[in-house]
Structure 1
Amino acid sequence: MTNMVDAVLLKHALARGMDPKSPSAPQTMYEAVDLLIKNLRGGKLINLDHRDPWLRDFAQKNLAIGITGAKSKSEGLPCYTFVDNGEGQHPDNFENTFLSLSAGNKKSIPFVQGKFNMGSSGVLRYCGRRWYKLIVSRRFDGEGGWGWTLMRRRPGDRDRMPVAEYFVMPGGEIPRFEAPTLYPFHTVERKRYDGVHLTTGTIIKLFDYQVGSRFLSFKGARDALNENLAETILPFRILDLRQKPEPKRGGDRALGVDARPFYGMEFLLLNSHREEDLEGEDDAAGTGKLFVGRFTEPNLGEVTISAVSLKRDLPGWLRPQNSNSRVFHAVNGQVQYKQSRGYISQTCGFPALKDRVVILVDASGLSFAAHNEVWKGDREHISNTQDGEHYLDLVTRTIRESDALRDLQVRIAYEELERAAQAESNALFQKLVDKDPTLAGLLSSRDPSIRVPSGGGGDGGGNGERASYSGEYSPTFLTLDDRSGRGLEVPLNRTRILNATTDVENGYLQRPDNPGRVVLDDALRERFSVREHLRDGRLSIHLTPSGDRVQIGDVVQGRIGLVDEGLPEPVFSSPTEIRIVAEAADDTPKKPSTTDGQPRPRAGGATEAGPTRGLPRCVLLTKDGRSVDGHAVERWPEGFSEHDGGEIVDLGDGEVIYKINYDNAYHLRYRLSQRGAVAREVVTEKYILGMRIMLLGYEHSLRSLRDQAGGGEGLGEFLDDFRRMAARGAASTVLAVAENLPKIVDASSIQEVDAE
């Protein structure tokens, strides 16, 4: 798909007589889209409404993918056919393009993606055991006719190194033929599909393609694409030609073809792919896009990080049981590396966001050298090189520092706590703490609802919400704060921050249409890794000395500026002075606070101090979502059963919610064994209270373990599984203990044992 987009852009450039390698050619893919295809005000499909007819029409004529063959694992493997109305190749040029392994023929073209020669060779090992792949192509000007060849793995001893070979005529010539039009797709009834046809361009068919058993269905195939293309640059059409014809439905479905749009992950999350005649398409899962931050580093280049905030109800392909990926590193839209929910929760410190954001790391601005140092050849992992590790460290720091994500974490945590608190009563737990004050040590100091026997006092204020901020389209001023204006001392081994205030809107640095840029003097860019954050009128520039480019005693004069195409010139701050000093011995980071220096309100509603103790919120889970008097209730999560006890949801900042399975088999069995409504309610209250106590102890133990492990980053991937397992075990025993131990063990029974 990467090379298909390249081919279409190159065709349009060549058709205009443009030299793609010349300085006058577009310098980025987005410039190429605006100039050569359609003016999208920044080259981004996201700027179009999903109902724009151009999207569908262009995809059908230029970029289509057809799926044929097997629909299930028992049937075998499907075939994928990729069709582009692009540049195409002369048959005599096949060996230098489709069939080359190291030519790097697009390296000097700035507006294409496929510069690493992975297109032809990368897919072969997934094309069944025989590696069959068909290539058919005709140059856009029609010269040379249609060329074709069939690739395969050379038959022979499978213990030898595999060799890929391709078919040629006697004498080594690529076979060719003449035809005015090709129709690459046929229906299950072997009828020609007229919806896609080519007079020039390229067709590539992958036989028996191993996409993974989970992705064999049409929905599965699209889910796999969702995770691997953050954006497609140009619109695609995906055709499932394996369907049974339905004449009553008309259109493509009458032919047995299910045709769907595909515009990339970001478009899907924010705009949906819904069309009038399509069924089963979800509405947009995202609620908006946030600017997380940007960094530049002399040895790497520029990287921009954004996030799409998600609704509570995740689309199927993003649910934890289907995908653990939440952070997607992409180059020109193509995902190169993924990081998990645990990375957001534990490493970055935003546990409430692990299922409420998708983070997009746009690494398109890395230098060519950095691309080769950072990514492994499979384009699925990070290289353990110095540059690879430094890149990951800068990404993590930029995410951790983000005020936008921190504010979202507070808001979502507050919303979740409010949902859980709607019908909750802690009277029984208060009695328990009164009887055994040691339990108070397990409770948090926030959201006080439980009175500690030795204390008293009131509660704090705040509701977890920040006042809304509305900025200008373009900045009118940029003012350094007092400390930054007086100059900054930066130790060789530390990071220091230049802070400034401005009046520009939050999305200024990442909006698709006329994005703004931070302007820094070259002397700063060349000597420092620079991380940029803009939130609520506060611009923060994090400066970290870069390797051997600085030394103690260096003094750099610099200023910060903001600029966009709507401004005649940048808006600059006053100059300031950056001084390099000796390494700092200790620079332990402090917990973030609000910009005015006041403690940030806690998600549950109180500030840091509080003489009382907060009991974690409790929500009951029922199979069908039915209500239970006196409690907040949610429907079972997907994959839950009557054997599960519940789960613990970490909201960060010490706040958790206990979700207890009301329809647990052990609880219902004990409940039904009781005579009378009152006795049954007593059993239920024992079950809920007992589960809260046992999970409280487990969570306290888990936090201690994480503290001992220095943050517990290695545990991050498994914490939810551990919590769910603990709840399952607790549910199977808590009522046995609560109901039977008082009857079996009492003072008289112990005295009888002593007497014996």
Structure 2
Amino acid sequence: MNNKDLALSLVHADTENEIINILKKEGYWDKSDDWQLYGGKENNFATIGNQKSRAEDALVEKIVNSVDAVLMAECLKRGFKTDSKEAPTSIADALEKFYNIHNGKLSNITPNERTKLAENIALVSTGSKSNPCYSIIDKGEGQSPNRLPDTILSIDKNNKLRTPFVQGKFNMGGTAVLRFCGRENLQLIISKRNPKIKIQDASDDSINYWGVTIVRRENPPQGVRSSIYKYLAPNNKILRFESDSLKLMPGNYPNAYQNELSYGTFIKLYEYQMTGLKTNILFDLNYKLSLLMPSIALPVRLYERRKGYKGHTLETTLSGLSVRLDEDKKENLESGFPVSGPITALGQKMRASIFAFKRGRSTNYTRDEGIIFVINGQTHGTLSKSFFTRNAVRHSYIADSLLVVVDCSELDGRAREDLFLNSRDRLASGELRSQIERELEILLREHKGLNQLRERRRREDIEDKLEDSKPLADVIQDILKKSPTLSKLFIKGVRLPNPFNIVNGKREEQYEGKKFPTFFTLIKEYPEIAPKDCPKNVRFRVQYKTDAVNDYFDRDNDPGKFSLYVNGTEVENKQINPWNGYINLNVLLPDNVTVGDVLCFESKVEDVSLIEPFVSRFYIRVTDAEKKNNSSNEKNRKNPSTDNKGNEGENTSHLDLPNVIEVFKNDKNWVSKEFENETALHVFEDGQGGYDFFINMNNIHLLSEQKSNGSIDSKLLNARYKYGMVLIGIALLKENNDNTEKSIEDSKNQVGNIFTHIKFTTKVLSPILLPMIGSLGSLKLDDVEIALEPEVN
């Protein structure tokens, strides 16, 4: 067959066996001279095989390359080189110049406009449901056959390094997908240069041709340790043919190849191994890709074209998580969210956006991802939701409802290398990561809106469910008298828990801020004669009162600007945290201060409406360094005083005993806390240093013991089970607090957290707890001695 027919037959094939049979029939598969080294490197497996650890992350690289190809084509069509001064300076600038998208945000155009724009890039699923193929198609710059080895088939070429308005700059040619393409790692590439591009290579005689090649992985040859990736190019020339267009674009379901493509690039990944995401492309994969590309520059049209699916439409537009959240904000996010603000770590500037979902609404947006780190709209690393349960954060009650997006696009090159592994899907350990995590801990722990949400959720979960704690206290006290060993679990003695903050006066009213504030003042003054004391090794916090809206400093149009100076020098390492008329300012003292120094801080707030800025001045006196408390992370930190008397005067009591909440199958907590028949105990931190214990009183092993052991009153069995679980939970918590450094390191490495550990451990112990208590309690010395007597033959 001719090259065009060969290309189309490879397009329509959906299995590796079909591809191999076609290439064998044409005499290419077994002819080694027809296959060239990918990237021109014999040891290319070391680079290609050492990238993404997950198939979905690798697929993102291909989509990003298509986005870049379309943006570069728009630039070249206008006659500008992509690295020239006439070219856009950023992705946002490109979207404004090429598509008139305000501020370069897809949320600023209508869904219909996004769908129209998505016609330039397609992701199509074909083949079988169990072993799908995925085709990535774009109407971008395209490549001529002669250019393919130096572009798509290259490794370590600097093709986009100096182009400021693209997302992918890692020079890998999108090779991360290859290891996930079936057993033979087959990938089809068909491309034709965009004829609308004004700047063309006059020496390239293949400009008007389509190029077609297949990438494969060959087993290590004799004497070589690693596999080798190669591409089809007989006589070292990419196969080519002429054609005005090819039927490579999908039509109506189930037609995968009905509409014409006149130029651009078609890439097909055969039998792509993407575990857990092989369902209808419109659902799980769509949601996952949205998370991995939260601020994708251009929308992508997704087409489900595998047979056997039904629905009104089997195609949709992928616009990224940011657009999804913005469109669904009222239905899915808590009032007042998202909120955003700058953070600084080791001089590197980032922006953190906090999304708080309504109960049960986060599952279509994120699974275990709690914090995602983004560069140019693409996720490069994540931290799990266990981050929110750390002692330094204390948001276990709302951990499943939180998502934080950290935009790292402004990091310099070296900082990117320090923060992200070369695979670009994980964070590297190091000082920069530690400092960023520290800044995020402070931001989340001290955010008034999150604290209010946590307390409201907690009230909803435990109100009317709490039992009188005195019986528990009496039982524990009696146990302590009889067991000095157990008494060590309660070093401070037994005290009854206070289940809620004691709130004085009325609850906070609905806040309605103004676009431009009419005042911005310190809640408490710190003049030079009475400065605020701050230990040398910690940061200080001051609060402002204002009538500005929450997004005053972070909105797209006419944002306010907050500046802070110390002795005339601008302070970079600061956090401002607005919420409903209150602004928390957290500041790290300069490195060169000494004890006794009195520092003059001056803040300025400016916007387009102000003739003169709002200026505030306060003084900080440096005191001796504060000794670290190793028992827990800042457990005894005091909350700042505020001037909203009557709305938020709080006192908290130290909780030695947990609040115990019994859970039954017909309870709302059974669903919200994800209880199962085998569940025993779930523990949640209450945000004030205490704990709430949710105990499954319909545990299958407890019910079985009640049924089979009629000689013991069921109330006694319930009490043994409940108090036993309480003691186990307290012991595990104490062990965790006694090993704070280890638990912090575990949470950084995402091996779990203490609450997950308690959940698992008590589930494992629940079948043996009651039999153990009953059997061992009646065991006598004679029984032990008889058991230890040697057998006589």
- Which of the five TM-score ranges fits, normalised by the shorter chain? 0.7 to 0.9
Superposed CA deviations along residues 483-510 of structure 1, whole A, max 9, x for unmatched, are 3888899988654556554432212233
Equivalent residues of 1:62, 1:86 under 8 A apart: yes
Counterpart in 2 of 1:15?
77
For residue 394 of structure 2, the aligned residue among 318, 343, 349 is: 349
User: d(CA) in 1 for partners of 2:688 and 2:95?
Assistant: 44
Counterpart in 2 of 1:327?
371
Counterpart in 2 of 1:620?
663
Query: Helix, strand or coil for the counterpart of 1:401?
Result: helix
> Structure 2: any 5+ residue segments left out of the alignment?
1-62, 197-206, 481-486, 784-793
For residue 267 of structure 2, the aligned residue among 204, 209, 213 is: 204
Structure 1's 90 and 378: CA in aligned 2 closer, same or farther, altered over 3 A? same
| Residue 376 (structure 1) aligned with residue 441 (structure 2) | no
User: d(CA) in 1 for partners of 2:173 and 2:769?
Assistant: 57
Superposed CA deviations along residues 382-423 of structure 1, whole A, max 9, x for unmatched, are 334xxx522441343233234664542443244333432325
Counterpart in 2 of 1:94?
148
Deviation at 1:619, TM superposition (A): 3.9
Superposed CA deviations along residues 239-273 of structure 1, whole A, max 9, x for unmatched, are 22213265xx6x65xxxxx3233222343345359
Query: Helix, strand or coil for the counterpart of 2:338?
Result: strand
User: d(CA) in 1 for partners of 2:70 and 2:379?
Assistant: 20
User: d(CA) in 2 for partners of 1:500 and 1:329?
Assistant: 30
User: d(CA) in 2 for partners of 1:297 and 1:484?
Assistant: 29
User: d(CA) in 2 for partners of 1:510 and 1:392?
Assistant: 25
Structure 1's 231 and 522: CA in aligned 2 closer, same or farther, altered over 3 A? farther
Deviation at 1:311, TM superposition (A): 2.4
Larger deviation, residues 11-20 vs 196-205: 11-20
Counterpart in 1 of 2:357?
310
Equivalent residues of 1:523, 1:558 under 8 A apart: yes
Counterpart in 2 of 1:422?
464
Paired residues for 1:113-152 under 5 Å: 113-141=167-195, 143-152=207-216
User: d(CA) in 2 for partners of 1:499 and 1:244?
Assistant: 60
Equivalent residues of 1:621, 1:659 under 8 A apart: no
Paired residues for 1:161-200 under 5 Å: 161-170=226-235, 172-184=236-248, 191-194=255-258, 197-200=260-263
Amino acid paired to 1:210: Q
Query: Helix, strand or coil for the counterpart of 2:740?
Result: coil
Counterpart in 1 of 2:725?
695
Structure 1's 163 and 412: CA in aligned 2 closer, same or farther, altered over 3 A? same
Paired residues for 1:221-370 under 5 Å: 221-244=285-308, 258-272=314-328, 284=332, 289-291=337-339, 293-296=341-344, 299-300=347-348, 302-316=349-363, 323-346=367-390, 348-370=393-415
Query: Helix, strand or coil for the counterpart of 1:383?
Result: coil
Paired residues for 1:423-462 under 5 Å: 423-426=465-468, 429=471, 432-433=474-475, 436=478, 446-447=497-498, 460-462=502-504
Larger deviation, residues 15-24 vs 97-106: 15-24
User: d(CA) in 2 for partners of 1:140 and 1:557?
Assistant: 61
Amino acid paired to 1:693: Y
User: d(CA) in 1 for partners of 2:567 and 2:76?
Assistant: 39
Counterpart in 1 of 2:105?
44
Equivalent residues of 2:189, 2:267 under 8 A apart: yes
Amino acid paired to 1:700: I
Deviation at 1:217, TM superposition (A): 5.9
Paired residues for 1:634-713 under 5 Å: 634-635=670-671, 641-672=676-707, 683=714, 685-710=715-740, 712-713=743-744
Query: Helix, strand or coil for the counterpart of 1:124?
Result: helix
Query: Helix, strand or coil for the counterpart of 1:355?
Result: helix
Counterpart in 2 of 1:560?
603
Deviation at 1:378, TM superposition (A): 0.3
| Residue 69 (structure 1) aligned with residue 115 (structure 2) | no
Identity over aligned residues, as a percent? Answer: 22
Structure 1's 546 and 155: CA in aligned 2 closer, same or farther, altered over 3 A? farther
Counterpart in 1 of 2:525?
482
| TM-score of the two chains, using structure 1 as the length reference | 0.77
Amino acid paired to 1:634: W
| Residue 529 (structure 1) aligned with residue 587 (structure 2) | no
> Structure 1: any 5+ residue segments left out of the alignment?
253-257, 274-281, 450-458, 750-756
Counterpart in 2 of 1:596?
642
Counterpart in 1 of 2:483?
none
User: d(CA) in 2 for partners of 1:404 and 1:732?
Assistant: 41
Larger deviation, residues 133-142 vs 430-439: 430-439
Amino acid paired to 1:165: K
| TM-score of the two chains, using structure 2 as the length reference | 0.73
Larger deviation, residues 209-218 vs 514-523: 514-523
Structure 1's 499 and 204: CA in aligned 2 closer, same or farther, altered over 3 A? same
User: d(CA) in 1 for partners of 2:540 and 2:645?
Assistant: 21
Counterpart in 2 of 1:56?
115
Equivalent residues of 2:139, 2:263 under 8 A apart: yes
Superposed CA deviations along residues 709-741 of structure 1, whole A, max 9, x for unmatched, are 126324551423322234335543555578889
Equivalent residues of 1:298, 1:527 under 8 A apart: no
Superposed CA deviations along residues 611-660 of structure 1, whole A, max 9, x for unmatched, are x98751414141xxx36xxxx6534865x543332423333323433333
User: d(CA) in 2 for partners of 1:576 and 1:596?
Assistant: 16
For residue 608 of structure 1, the aligned residue among 632, 652, 663 is: 652
User: d(CA) in 1 for partners of 2:85 and 2:568?
Assistant: 27
Structure 1's 739 and 517: CA in aligned 2 closer, same or farther, altered over 3 A? same
Counterpart in 1 of 2:790?
none
Amino acid paired to 1:723: I
Paired residues for 1:499-510 under 5 Å: 500-510=544-554
For residue 400 of structure 1, the aligned residue among 426, 429, 442 is: 442
| Residue 573 (structure 1) aligned with residue 597 (structure 2) | no
User: d(CA) in 2 for partners of 1:484 and 1:91?
Assistant: 73
Structure 1's 315 and 472: CA in aligned 2 closer, same or farther, altered over 3 A? closer
User: d(CA) in 2 for partners of 1:404 and 1:506?
Assistant: 15
Structure 1's 741 and 133: CA in aligned 2 closer, same or farther, altered over 3 A? closer
Superposed CA deviations along residues 682-734 of structure 1, whole A, max 9, x for unmatched, are 62x44544343223222322232122112632455142332223433554355
Counterpart in 2 of 1:753?
none
Deviation at 1:366, TM superposition (A): 1.3
Equivalent residues of 1:328, 1:337 under 8 A apart: yes
User: d(CA) in 1 for partners of 2:246 and 2:324?
Assistant: 31
Amino acid paired to 1:325: E
Equivalent residues of 1:215, 1:224 under 8 A apart: no
User: d(CA) in 2 for partners of 1:34 and 1:503?
Assistant: 33
Counterpart in 2 of 1:277?
none
Amino acid paired to 2:112: P
Superposed CA deviations along residues 65-112 of structure 1, whole A, max 9, x for unmatched, are 01223422xxxx432211122232333332332122222222222222
Q: How many residues align?
A: 685
Counterpart in 2 of 1:452?
none
Deviation at 1:62, TM superposition (A): 1.5
Amino acid paired to 2:464: Q
